[in-house]
Structure 1
Amino acid sequence: MHAKRFSKMARPSSSWWMALLVVAAVAQLGASDLRTDYYNSTCPNVESIVLGVVKDKMQATIRTIGSTVRLFFHDCFVDGCDGSVLITSTAGNTAERDAPDNLSLAFEGFETVRSAKAAVEAACPDQVSCTDVLAIATRDAIALSGGPFFPVELGRLDGMRSSASNVAGKLPQPNNTLSELVAIFKSNGLNMSDMVALSAAHSVGLAHCSKFSDRLYRYNPPSQPTDPTLNEKYAAFLKGKCPDGGPDMMVLMDQATPALFDNQYYRNLQDGGGLLASDELLYTDNRTRPTVDSLAASTPDFYKAFADAIVKLGRVGVKSGGKGNIRKQCDRGRHSMGAGIRILVVMLAVAAAGSGVVAQLRRDYYASVCPDVETIVRDAVTKKVQETSVAVGATVRLFFHDCFVEGCDASVIVVSSGNNTAEKDHPNNLSLAGDGFDTVIKARAAVDAVPQCTNQVSCADILVMATRDVIALAGGPSYAVELGRLDGLSSTASSVDGKLPPPSFNLDQLTSLFAANNLSQTDMIALSAAHTVGFAHCGTFASRIQPSAVDPTMDAGYASQLQAACPAGVDPNIALELDPVTPRAFDNQYFVNLQKGMGLFTSDQVLYSDDRSRPTVDAWAANSSDFELAFVAAMTNLGRVGVKTDPSQGNIRRDCAMLI
């Protein structure tokens, strides 16, 4: 198995390779212009350029694998392989990516293609389509995770339209019958064997609990609530991960080898371990069981079947001639960049430049001393979030409160001593939830439990990683984090005064406070969306809901709900969810709430009531992808505030809560 890993560039047997080249050479209707050497004269290094980006993205997060592969599938199954799934919606058009069946496509897939396309454009402007970049990136993600390496046919043009209305009925659903699945694949020129082979893409990636919860609790109620084709132990495990009525968390599709693209998927099916109903039926239906058994028994046979099938998939609905073009920016169709996107691109470029001590931060900072640190932290954070969703908002808020006082140095985690009152005991920090501190402490313990990593990773960097991970686990973007901070050498409550934004601030006050931390107004609006998760105490917004003087910018119905939950005289420490619509999802609902007068704090609602910030709120309420890009850029900028890298300014604490 491991001998076929892409990193070793092992080639299949010559007969297998030649057979695949023969398949690749057989032109299908609409794909006759595709060639493996299509860019030899115009961009000869395109594949190595894309490979370099995919490697970087995979090192940043394992989610790159499944999200990129799934993006390719969802693109090809709707209007063909033309990159139309990459296009963002506009005021006059809801694009494919915002169709209900595509809303769960992970940010990492889009970001992989965006970054790869940008790298290609830098070397070969206006030569390579986004569609071909996606095809190459998909192959690389598969090969780099242990799957087969195969030649990619190239020469596709990008589609010239993208409409959400085209998606319905074209993508396989988790509850499809075998006949329904076969019909969908057949409509794309793919046979039953292709379908079984391509289903192994579920060897990597994650799925939301909602995609399979009916198999656990509502299969055939009341006598048989759980699907009998599920392995009993696996069903019990899934129920622990996804309690009925609980948050829509994500579960690894392959628990055995989640980071490997292999034929373990088929062995899972044999054992009743298919996550989705549409997975397991490949084994329970006699028409496909022999193929499952065959591919489970032979890795080479699986490699060949999958490579053959994905080459065929890459020919579906290919655009050529006047039916397509080459987009310079993958998410913008035929249109040039609007002013807002140009601003965002500039902002991202500034964020990437770095200067001074910030330039010492690197994504690979711990590569030699603790190479698996991000995986270790992510696993610890995942366990904590599974224990309680409160950890999401609590950890994010902890990071904000840390960076805004003495910089991102974990000084907020330090406990008070006999002669010192620390930051965490300042009145403005007393509401920080214990689950945020516990998330960092448990992640640090997990890191230190690895002998190579003991006392090598700062608490400040663990907080940065944990914050990224809780955001991603709650459905928000996952992004590369810069590392190399030292922990601060002091923590005093007096240093907090005037450094944190109170809920009563107006736009000018907010802008000024963020500017003091080298954050723009755009950063401020993006970061405010952290209020899409977490809780707030009644006392922090009581003045807005006084029966005799309700804040006129607040929706009347929402004000009534708040008055009922926080009546006069109630304990001011009673907590309510900041986002009443999607309280456990990290999304752009925050901005939609502001449009409806449902911002909980004055400092939230002012972002919509003030004409200077309203256009940004409207833009991000309408486009989750643009919001995620802006949020990632702003979080990167926030993570650079007051960074300590000189040993005279910081150290690596043995105990995050103690200044030793």
Structure 2
Amino acid sequence: MACFTRFAALLSFLALVPLCLSAKTMGGYLYPQFYDHSCPRVQEIVKSVVAKAVAREARTAASLLRLHFHDCFVKGCDASLLLDSTGSIVSEKMSNPNRNSARRFEVLDEIKSALEKECPHTVSCADILALAARDSTVLTGGPSWEVPLGRRDSREASLSGSNNNIPAPNNTFQTILTKFKLQGLDIVDLVALSGSHTIGNSRCTSFRQRLYNQTGNGKPDFTLDQSYAAQLRGRCPRSGGDQNLFFLDFVSPVHFDNSYFKNLLAYKGLLNSDQILVTQNQASMELVKKYAENNELFFEQFAKSMVKMGNVSPLTGSRGEIRKNCRKINSH
């Protein structure tokens, strides 16, 4: 009888194992309760600072979401993007995808400062990025999810990784899919995560070629709705106006929803990297159609894909460090 009881107990333990290990990573585990004892108010503090920042400037939500994405695609989710240049470090902020574009680093400084007061040397900048991305999504009307925590911060940055790994607006579909696959993400993740372009802005310089010279023949991109293209040309001239901002989703630019996918089906995706989800691959086009028809399905998959992306090669255990200041490594 005792044997049977032990066996039953073992079975019930094994039934729980997949839940506990769902965020297993190289060298450790991430789990939502990581700070429950060491810093119980962490989520409340992050949310409060993000909410104030988004209230001051709606664009902040998209900026913070993008920082998490640009961090995870370079050496994993380790806050390497937040490091400023020093004698030994060339900052990822100087890369083509980030220069004059990645922004709102001061919001993360504010969160870090509040957390250092609350529970010194406990919460990593990498975890702050992951939580701020989730809170930004929720604050703009998007889905929520439990963020697995326990990442540590990198002591180095990779400018070349930032230049090479982050998908660019003019990449082909295959190039972008390859960049996602290198992070362990698939075509479903690619389409769902592209849906983050339902909020935020893009600069004229990121899509100008579509308006005037898509393939080097002096002609505009024929896959762009012509009335929409004419409207864009009004504020994105052939030369000059590089920094002029345009909504990525002109229908509901500060509201997180599936109108981004509806725009793609109407050939009104702003970036080439958006529109090719419909024009260059059948499987991705089918996913776009599904998410355009069903907002709930999009939200569900976006949350899953964000957790998956947040689990890309984090530093755990004794690897890396907990930075006191997100912009620089600790002095040892």
TM-score by length of 2: 0.90
Residue identity opposite 1:186 in structure 2? K
Q: Which has the larger radius of gyration?
A: 1
What is the distance in 1 between the residues matched to 2:111 and 2:40? Answer: 15
**Structure-1 residue corresponding to 2:241:** 247
CA deviation profile, 1:565-598 (whole Å, cap 9, x unmatched): xxxxxxxxxxxxxxxxxxxxxxxxxxxxxxxxxx
CA pair 256-23 structure 1, distance change in 2 beyond 3 A = farther
Cα pair 2:24 2:30 within 8 Å, conserved: no
Cα pair 1:24 1:153 within 8 Å, conserved: no
**Structure-1 residue corresponding to 2:106:** 111
**Structure-1 residue corresponding to 2:152:** 157
| Residue 185 (structure 1) shift | 0.4
What is the distance in 2 between the residues matched to 1:104 and 1:329? Answer: 22
**Structure-2 residue corresponding to 1:237:** 231
**Structure-2 residue corresponding to 1:101:** 97
1:72 corresponds, among 68, 72, 82, to 68
Mapping 1:257-656, distance limit 5 Å: 257-284=252-279, 285-335=281-331
What is the distance in 2 between the residues matched to 1:64 and 1:221? Answer: 35
Q: Tell me, what secondary structure is at the counterpart of 2:29?
A: coil
Q: Tell me, what secondary structure is at the counterpart of 2:202?
A: strand
Write out the 4+ residue segments of structure 1 that deviate beyond 4 Å after TM superposition: 22-25
**Structure-2 residue corresponding to 1:173:** 168
**Structure-2 residue corresponding to 1:48:** 44
Cα pair 1:71 1:105 within 8 Å, conserved: no
CA deviation profile, 1:92-117 (whole Å, cap 9, x unmatched): 43111122221133432x12211111
What is the distance in 1 between the residues matched to 2:63 and 2:132? Answer: 11
CA deviation profile, 1:170-206 (whole Å, cap 9, x unmatched): 0101111111111110110101001100001111111
Cα pair 2:93 2:102 within 8 Å, conserved: no
Cα pair 1:160 1:323 within 8 Å, conserved: no
What is the distance in 2 between the residues matched to 1:137 and 1:81? Answer: 13
Q: Tell me, what secondary structure is at the counterpart of 2:246?
A: strand
What is the distance in 2 between the residues matched to 1:120 and 1:275? Answer: 38
What is the distance in 1 between the residues matched to 2:178 and 2:20? Answer: 24
What is the alpha-carbon root mean square deviation over aligned residues? Answer: 1.6
Cα pair 2:30 2:148 within 8 Å, conserved: yes
What is the distance in 2 between the residues matched to 1:164 and 1:60? Answer: 31
| Residue 39 (structure 1) shift | 0.3
| Residue 31 (structure 1) shift | 6.6
Alignment gaps of 5+ in structure 1: 1-21, 337-660
Cα pair 2:77 2:126 within 8 Å, conserved: yes
Mapping 1:116-265, distance limit 5 Å: 116-220=111-215, 222=217, 225-248=219-242, 249-265=244-260
Cα pair 1:24 1:311 within 8 Å, conserved: no
Number of aligned residues: 313
What is the distance in 2 between the residues matched to 1:155 and 1:56? Answer: 25
CA pair 148-25 structure 1, distance change in 2 beyond 3 A = farther
CA pair 164-122 structure 1, distance change in 2 beyond 3 A = same
| Residue 118 (structure 1) shift | 1.1
CA pair 127-93 structure 1, distance change in 2 beyond 3 A = closer
User: Could you say which structure has the greater relative contact order, defined with CA pairs below 8 angstroms and 6 or more residues apart?
Assistant: 2
% identical aligned pairs:
39
Alignment gaps of 5+ in structure 2: 1-17
**Structure-1 residue corresponding to 2:5:** none
What is the distance in 2 between the residues matched to 1:158 and 1:31? Answer: 14
CA pair 23-273 structure 1, distance change in 2 beyond 3 A = farther
Q: Tell me, what secondary structure is at the counterpart of 1:79?
A: coil
Q: Tell me, what secondary structure is at the counterpart of 1:329?
A: coil
